[in-house]
Amino acid sequence: MKDRAFKEEINLLNHTVNSFSDEMKERLWLKAAEGKRGWDGKGSLQLIAELRRKRSIDTPEDAVDMVNMIMFIHKALKEGR
């Protein structure tokens, strides 16, 4: 059985991941409302990779946007695109 510190660490990790994923969803919804769609279309992987390379991370929102782009790349790679 795992010790108390381990369980506390897992709870903290779960809370952090869940909180961050909520922020990711909010940013995705905002960008979709702005008309930024088509991330899963043909040729989008190359465009997303270029955007990721050019973009700096200066705010918490920038960090969430960067992780969302990496999520799109991850999905495309898993699908063999």
> Please, what is the angle between helix 44-54 and helix 60-78, to 10°?
150
Q: d(Cα 2, Cα 78) in Å, to the nearest integer?
A: 33
Q: What is the pLDDT along the chain (81 residues), one digit of tens a residue?
A: 679 999 999 999 999 999 999 999 999 999 999 998 877 777 787 878 888 888 889 999 999 999 998 898 888 889 887
The contacts of residue 75 (CB under 8 Å, 6+ apart) are 40
| Residue 32 and residue 65 in contact, taking contact as beta carbons nearer than 8 Å | no
> CA distances (Å), 61 to each of 1, 3, 19, 57, in order?
39, 36, 13, 8
The pLDDT value given to residue 1: 63
